[in-house]
Amino acid sequence: MIILGIETSCDETAAAIVEESGDRQRPWRLRSSVVASQMALHREWGGIVPELSARQHIRDICPVVRGALAQADVVDVDAIAVTQGPGLVGSLLVGLSFAKSLAWARGVPLVPVHHLAGHIESLTLENGEMALPAVVLVVSGGHTSLYRVDVPGRYELLGRTRDDAAGEAYDKVAKLLGLGYPGGPIIDRRAANGDDRAIPFPKTRITHADRNAPEVPGTRDFSFSGLKTSVLRHVMLRRAALGIGEQEPLPDREIDDICASFQRVVVETLVDRLFDAARWYGARSVGIAGGVSANSRLRAESRTRGAARDIPVFVPSIVLSTDNAAMIAAAGLRNFRGGVTATWDLSAKASLMLT
Ligand code: KG4
Ligand code: ZN
């Protein structure tokens, strides 16, 4: 079976062809993957502008899908998978309407996919089936969520961020340091030259709604907005101390140290929560997916921690860590084999939950 995947939830228009391999351990083979990034379009505004994003998807969707079919040397597909949500509703609607029309015209089933299930399945697409139970961290610009997978294709939410996603914190910190957009890769690069102990930014402790109650055992939630505020406060204090104006950057050395210190706290928080959950649930493997999984320190530390605990760690290649349609096609095959197809009244859902 060959499936076309379509992804337009945020600022990438993507299409891909994935086929079943017949091998239970490595069930899918990637035939093509095309991504048209809108990064340059949004950079000017310092973040994603939803209306511009939706309009650019309309311009790009036809050539991107054509490109994916041509690269795979495929004319007919057996099904079409599309991201139903979560994401920017105007952007989602472009992919969804296109996928619906194409599926209807070609007389093939339409398969709805949750964007985060796509990120999780990118791990199986590249590495084969994970040993279960697995604990997977999905960490991107819009999400920081921890899932347990006991059965392939069933995802149980263990915890999520209560405010900013980790990628969002990267992007906001980069913006306040005047480093540009998207912030993740820039901070990752600058951190390599900095001292990660230079500034003692605090790690967030998640407390009970009743602040006098003890920390809930087993809580798996995240919070990054306090860390972002600490960076902002530090930057303001340093500007005042150095007599630098609000629009002027701090000295390069200081920026490198801030990046390294911020990144240490983010990565330690993510890795600690992930491996705590893995131990708690007796996971036989762990995974990290989503845009932030491209982070060099997160990759290195999770590998070290996995080796120390003798637990395999799955991370996608850089091209499959940020948004793409290969992961949507893979998750679409998983859904289709699980009996999931959509009716023609399928609608985009900006806040779609994954269990
Ligand atoms: O998964 P993704 O492409 O889109 C969403 O679904 O959000 O993730 C994009 C996010 C952005 O916030 C970007 O700054 C972050 O992933 N990112 C990184 C790195 N590369 C991308 N964050 C930290 N380190 C990186 N190397
Ligand atoms: Zn994503």
The helix (run of H) or strand (run of E) holding residue 81 is strand 79-85
Q: Tell me: do 27 and 94 sit in the same domain.
A: yes
CA-CA distance, 263 to 249, in Å (whole number)? 19
190 in a structural domain: yes
DSSP string, 181-234: SSHHHHHHHHHTTS-TTSS-PPPP----SSTTSPPPTT---B--HHHHHHHHHH
343 in a structural domain: no
Q: Residue with the nearest Cα to atom 23 of ligand 1?
A: 184
Q: Tell me: do 38 and 77 sit in the same domain.
A: yes
351 in a structural domain: no
353 in a structural domain: no
From the CA of 190, how far away is ligand 2's center (Å)?
Answer: 23
Q: Tell me: do 285 and 148 sit in the same domain.
A: yes
Q: What is the pLDDT of residue 43?
A: 87
Q: What is the pLDDT of residue 99?
A: 98
* CB distance 182 to ligand 1 below 6 Å: yes
Q: What is the pLDDT of residue 48?
A: 87
Picking from 302, 334, 279, 316, the residue whose alpha carbon sits closest to that of residue 158 is 279
CA-CA distance, 30 to 28, in Å (whole number)? 7
Q: Tell me: do 180 and 262 sit in the same domain.
A: yes
Q: What is the pLDDT along the chain (355 residues), one digit of tens a residue?
A: 999 999 999 999 999 999 999 999 999 999 999 999 998 898 888 888 999 999 999 999 999 999 999 999 999 999 999 999 999 999 999 999 999 999 999 999 999 999 999 999 999 999 999 999 999 999 999 999 999 999 999 999 999 999 999 999 999 999 999 998 889 999 999 999 999 999 999 987 765 555 555 555 556 899 999 999 999 999 999 999 999 988 889 999 999 999 999 999 999 999 999 999 999 999 999 999 999 999 999 999 999 999 999 999 999 999 999 999 999 999 999 999 999 999 999 999 999 999 7
* CB distance 7 to ligand 1 below 6 Å: no
Q: What is the CATH number of the domain that holds 50?
A: 3.30.420.40
Mutation to probe ligand 1, out of 35, 292, 293 (largest number of atoms < 8 A from CB): 292
For residue 99, list its beta bridge partners.
Answer: none
pTM above 0.85, yes or no: yes
* CB distance 185 to ligand 1 below 6 Å: yes
Q: What is the pLDDT of residue 246?
A: 83
Q: What is the pLDDT of residue 169?
A: 97
Q: Tell the residue number behind the tokens 């050395």, with chain if given.
A: 253
* Residues around ligand 2, an ion, CB closer than 5 A: 140, 323
Q: What is the pLDDT of residue 216?
A: 52
CB 30 within 8 A of CB 4: no
Q: What is the pLDDT of residue 52?
A: 94
Q: Tell me: do 141 and 223 sit in the same domain.
A: yes
From the CA of 182, how far away is ligand 1's center (Å)?
Answer: 7
Q: Tell me: do 62 and 194 sit in the same domain.
A: no
Q: What is the pLDDT of residue 210?
A: 58
* CB distance 170 to ligand 1 below 6 Å: yes
Picking from 204, 197, 170, 185, the residue whose alpha carbon sits closest to that of residue 261 is 197
CA-CA distance, 332 to 322, in Å (whole number)? 18
Q: What is the pLDDT of residue 215?
A: 52
Q: What is the pLDDT of residue 282?
A: 96
103 in a structural domain: yes
342 in a structural domain: no
345 in a structural domain: no
From the CA of 13, how far away is ligand 2's center (Å)?
Answer: 12
Q: What is the pLDDT of residue 245?
A: 87
Q: Tell me: do 28 and 112 sit in the same domain.
A: yes
* CB distance 86 to ligand 1 below 6 Å: no
Torsion of CA 55, 60, 62, 67, to 10 degrees: -170
CA-CA distance, 63 to 155, in Å (whole number)? 33
Q: Tell me: do 24 and 118 sit in the same domain.
A: yes
146 in a structural domain: yes
Q: Tell me: do 109 and 171 sit in the same domain.
A: no
Q: Show the domain range for 180.
A: 131-311
Domains identified in the chain, total number: 2
* CB distance 290 to ligand 1 below 6 Å: yes
Picking from 84, 206, 220, 86, the residue whose alpha carbon sits closest to that of residue 148 is 220
